[in-house]
Amino acid sequence: MTRWIVDGMNVIGSRPTGWWRDRPGAMRELVEELKAFAERSGDPVTVVLDGKPFHLEGGDHVTVQFASRRGRNAADDDIAALVESDDEPAELSVVTSDSDLARRVGDGGATVVGAGNFRRRLEG
């Protein structure tokens, strides 16, 4: 089993779908896709999103978190902290295409999966 931590805005931004016109809608769509992925795979998923928090129901296998602060790298810092505080970081796969975050979580022992690669898993 893999435990996934997803850089939500990075995955949302990996496709030019016009998501920026409806950020909350794009976040809801991603969470629905993550729920379907988690049900298919049996793997738990944590998604970390930037922006003003609102209610998003993750269901049984998806935990939705909003960055603990606003500003540059807020979600990245929270994701790195999740990896650093984990007892078994080798079981974690972090989804991001941000090279600095990838380096940070890789140094912490997690596997890194690119946002585009993960997006294909969501669609498959």
Residue-averaged pLDDT of the chain: 95
- What's 21's domain CATH number? 3.40.50
Domain that holds residue 13: 3-123
Number of folded domains in the chain? 1
Could you count the other beta carbons within 10 Å of the beta carbon of residue 38?
Answer: 19
Q: How confident is the model at residue 72 (pLDDT cuts 50, 70, 90)?
A: confident
Strands (DSSP E) contained in 1-101 are 3-7, 45-49, 62-66, 92-95
pLDDT for position 15 = 86
The pTM assigned to this predicted structure is 0.95
For residue range 25-66, what is the model confidence (pLDDT) as tens digits? 999 999 999 999 999 999 999 999 999 999 999 999 999 999
Residues 6+ apart with CB under 8 A from 50: 8, 9, 66, 67, 70, 74, 75
For residue range 77-93, what is the model confidence (pLDDT) as tens digits? 999 999 999 999 999 99
Q: What angle do CA 111, 95, 79 make, to 5 degrees?
A: 85
